[in-house]
Structure 1
């Protein structure tokens, strides 16, 4: 089984001396020493100094349209809340977040503490952004329905006449009553509207109880600090968005976003599931430093790719040749 980036980095820094496994004349390893245990004193300051060493890698991980300074500033603002987290898990969460181009300022995503682990958590707005980035949808609607709103859904009627939501905007938000439903739908490229996803409060609680291990851990510990405890409406909305993913065309980024969040819920490293433009170099350097044998897997994969490429070219050439010969015979 392929080990995670975090385990490789920790193994490299713990087991291999400086320069081990590096070809002669190669540059110094870009991966500095990564403490495997939480920093015990002056944690936020120590983490800030440590994270500075990785700023170049983080910046290269970001999509070109995301300004590195804004991303890194948001990460630094989160460091005090991550005191006691393993620096290795912070690196994992930060690089995973950067892979999607989300700013971890609480709007599109947040980097949160779960015990001694830092985790990247996309918000429902992050999921909406990923859906827009997919190119399959032109707009996404995610809303809450309150007791004072006019709301109706008739699935037997054609869209968009099957769905009505008129919020009661004449009263303040705190007078609209309790939330009843969260819903989400998307307008697809081409003009069609997706199936609407509608989740009641009971539906949301069932999803929370069955699938949120972070909620279950918080309940067991009596801490009441999971996102389901502190941001229930946002998690309710996000549950609707994640259900919507099942009924609209999906992209690799959208599927990766779900996988990354599922890894966070299970307490697994997230970077393995994220899009991987730059961290491959970190992985490769850690593997060399730790003297692993996994590089041989990449070597074995190249002949397979060349063989497949050869088959795809040779067959059409043979067919074209046969057609030309037949044409000459008929003429």
Structure 2
């Protein structure tokens, strides 16, 4: 994060905009070094926030990982701004930068920018976790699901993989949603690059409620304040699936990106700065390259060594010519 951008965030958080009187969004894609654009007040519209964020577009785009399309990302950010009116501009900027660091579009599929009290925060969805887990290559896929009351579901840990786990949705009931019953379990497991399957994580409704009540600071604050606007309120089973995925790193090798995503997610829940936990794009690329090299080195050890050539049967190698002529003092010398 550049020094001028860091100063901008700090000044925005303090509510003391430098460079007051300069119109937001004027003449430049990003704030010139040593200056900070006028910070919009919380009462201003989403258009004013967008104009202000435009001044930091260069820094935002530099946070995007290589190969991420900037157009869809910026469009998704702009679409979310009306929902963030009233949040501090500093928190909006930090949430956008943190989201950009992972390359997730905040369109609700892999991530969302949302309110947490007076703050804007970046929240990864369970699909965002799936993408981060499969990015490194150590995990080929993550399977998740909800088990409904009418489904066939068996988990026997003592049986060998993959016979230990069986989920068969009731297809007839799926056509008639009213008869399918309520969700009773959420699960997640991983297929690894070597073909192995991880131990599944299975959570019941009661497990989800325990996780929510004990560990979600956002939910606890909402209960205290009489609100019902957290994801635990509005999308309970989505959060249970996400909780199951977040427990996979206990048994599955995970990349630095996944651990960073978990730290950023927890920072949002606890209203701590998110950006300090987000990966730096250049550093993240170096780490990913090192991880790929390590996996390639491990794979090379599994390849049998090449067979040495054996000389044909009955052939004799030609004697090497001696340099400098015959040796002096041959036979008979004592």
The answer to whether TM tops 0.5 is yes
Q: Deviations over 1:217-241 (max 9, x none)?
A: 1111111000100111110110000
- Give the aligned partner of residue 77 of structure 1: 79
Structure showing greater radius of gyration is 2
CA deviation map 1:99-148 (0-9, x unaligned): 00100000000000111100000000000001110211111101000000
Inter-CA distance 148–162: structure 2 relative to 1 (3 Å threshold): same
Pairing 1:94–2:90 present: no
Structure 2 unaligned blocks of 5 or more: 21-30, 284-334
Residue 195 of structure 2 aligns to a residue in which SS? coil
Tell me how far apart the structure 2 counterparts of residues 33 and 177 of structure 1 sit (CA, whole Å).
54
8 Å CA contact 2:141–2:190 kept in 1: the answer is yes
Q: Give the one of 209, 212, 237 matched to 2:216.
A: 212
Match status 1:184 vs 2:188? yes
Residues paired across the two proteins, number: 266
Q: CA 1:186–1:239 in structure 2 vs 1: closer, same or farther (change >3 Å)?
A: same
Superposed displacement of residue 163, structure 1? 0.3
Q: CA-atom RMSD, angstroms?
A: 2.4
Q: What TM-score, normalized by structure 1, do the two folds share?
A: 0.75
Per-residue CA deviation, residues 246-269 of structure 1 (Å, 9 max, x unaligned), is: 210010000000000010011011
**Which protein, 1 or 2, shows the higher relative CO under an 8 Å CA cutoff with sep ≥ 6?**
1
TM-score by length of 2: 0.75
Which of the numbers 158, 169, 172 marks the counterpart of 1:170? 172
Cα offsets for 1:189-212 (capped at 9, x unmatched)? 111100100001000000001111
Q: Could you say which residue in structure 1 is the equivalent of 2:270? A: 266
Instruction: Call closer, same or farther: CA 1:116–1:261 in 2, change over 3 Å.
Output: same
Q: Is 2:160 aligned against 1:158? A: yes
Kindly indicate whether the alpha-carbon contact (under 8 Å) linking 1:256 and 1:275 is maintained by their aligned counterparts in 2: yes
Structure 1 unmatched runs, 5+ = 19-26, 280-331
Quick check: 2:267–2:273 contact (8 Å CA) kept in 1?
A: yes
Higher helix share: 1
